[in-house]
Amino acid sequence: MQDRIFYAICFGFIFGVFLRSFLAVNYYLVILFGLIAFALILFFTLISKNKWGIIAGVFILTFCLGIFRFHLADRPAPQAISMEGVIVDEPDIRENNQKLIIQTKETKILVTTNVGNNYRYGDGVVFKGKLEKPENFITDQGKDFDYINYLRKDGIFYVMSYPDIEIVSRGNGNKIKSALFFIKNEFLEKINLATRQPESLLIGGLILGEKASFSEDLRKSFIDTGTIHIVALSGYNITIVAEWFMKLFSFLPIRFGIGAGILAILLFVLMTGGASTAIRAGIMATLALYARASGRNYDVARALLLAGVIMILINPFVLAYDVSFQLSFIATIALIFFTPKIEQYFLWVPKHFKLRDIVSVTFAVYIFVLPFILYKMGNLSLVALPANVLVLPFIPITMILGFLTGLLGVINYFLSIPFGYVSYLLLHCELGVINFFSQIPFASLIIPDFPFWLTLLIYTYFIYRLFGRAIREFFLARP
């Protein structure tokens, strides 16, 4: 019964947010349905004792709450905006420009400006330029990109290109966040001293998700070979970091060690900029640590669902408008449920360096996310499987060596040189593999019009194969 209530709450809330993401809703009608659902819960709890009635009432009530949560977050764009504010995130430095998120009294504005100006998180600025509303555009793959809602999920309703900007104050940001960004920048600076580019850029991406400085050619190589996830601070990277923290604090009493590990993971996610994939993985790792401290069994599937509900509760726009959020959850579902079903087909792969696990996981995740990638991005990599199989076994040791390079570099440059040299060799080989596969003719294909109905049909089949039995048991068994 408790499991069914849990799933009714989670899926009711998710479906409510999802519906409101695309349709306008009469809120008086929603209030009416919410009151009816509450009355049904009371009736079936106190009088009828029908457990399915309670579950249905809970689902309808949380469905209404999901609609209201989206409504509360869906603020209209302000009509008048002051031209002063604070930079509320690290500058996103690209090849030819940098992007700043400026928080004014009324809203956030995404500002594009020249590279070279030393803007920092927490700078108070006065700016002057042409304020515009963002517009959707066509990607290089021929797909319509919903840029308006992509920015809207972060509370950004306006953009401005190359305005006049004057820094009027510094240090206006959150002190903890400022300190974490300072540590990150010092860490990356020491890595850059001990390791040459583009290898230093890759290790920054592996450990901290830093990929803004990649050249367009290098970024395209990662995309064409299906290896962009290793520099996106995905759940794979966060899992490795979480295991480090668990081992680092293992000497402490169990509860203090788990608490220190949770704090370290959350600070790490915050330091990396709080991408949705990192937050989701961080929440799951935190739930795993809490389950260990409390002695409860850790149900990774329920933890994944709970992580999603928490993120949607915080920002309901991510459900329909954040592709990285959607992609990370699909990949994690594949990792949890699909990988065990296909492992039997890879018994011929040797276990050395966890190669069998890597091959089966890579195959499962790639097959499972492929329809979504084709529908959303239109990019089909024909070399993703061999490229990932050759690169992924060396990523954990590369991350460890890169971390030691940056850490020892902060203490003393000469201490970091041996680790920097070895990590450089590994990074050079990994980039060599990626560049080799990216240069193969027809390494990737563009499919601009992959139909939505076919995507939906494929995932309906996946859900049936993976969860058909569980769904039948859910509805046929007694609560």
Note the pLDDT tens digit of each residue in 179-190.
878 888 888 888
Look up residue 410 and give its two tokens.
Answer: 């902060």
Task: Give the mean model confidence (pLDDT) for residues 137-141.
Answer: 78
Strand partners, 98: 93, 113
Q: What is the C-alpha separation between 373 and 141, in angstroms, rounded? A: 11
- pLDDT above 70 (res 246): no
Alpha-carbon Rg for the chain, nearest whole angstrom, is 24
Residues 6+ apart with CB under 8 A from 438: 220, 221, 224, 225, 383
- pLDDT above 90 (res 412): no
Q: What was the pLDDT predicted at 477?
A: 63
Q: What was the pLDDT predicted at 69?
A: 94
Nearest to 444, CA basis, from 432, 452, 434: 434
- pLDDT above 60 (res 236): no
Nearest to 150, CA basis, from 180, 110, 209: 110
Judged by DSSP in three states, 126 sits in strand
- pLDDT above 70 (res 242): no
- Is pTM beyond 0.85? Reply is no
Q: What was the pLDDT predicted at 158?
A: 92
Banded pLDDT at 288 (limits 50, 70, 90): low
Banded pLDDT at 63 (limits 50, 70, 90): very high
Q: What is the C-alpha separation between 393 and 388, in angstroms, rounded? A: 9
Q: What was the pLDDT predicted at 145?
A: 86
Mean pLDDT of the chain: 84
Judged by DSSP in three states, 138 sits in strand
Q: What was the pLDDT predicted at 346?
A: 84
Q: What was the pLDDT predicted at 462?
A: 93
Per-residue model confidence as pLDDT tens digits over 304-328: 788 889 889 988 998 999 887 888 7
Q: What was the pLDDT predicted at 294?
A: 61
Contact indicator for 457, 238 with CB cutoff of 8 Å: no
Q: Which of 43-57, 115-129, 270-284, 307-321 comes out lowest in average pLDDT?
A: 270-284
Task: Give the mean model confidence (pLDDT) for residues 24-38.
Answer: 91
Give the other-Cβ count within 10 Å of 324's Cβ.
Answer: 16
Nearest to 185, CA basis, from 161, 158, 204: 204
Q: Which of 277-291, 332-346, 430-444 comes out lowest in average pLDDT?
A: 277-291
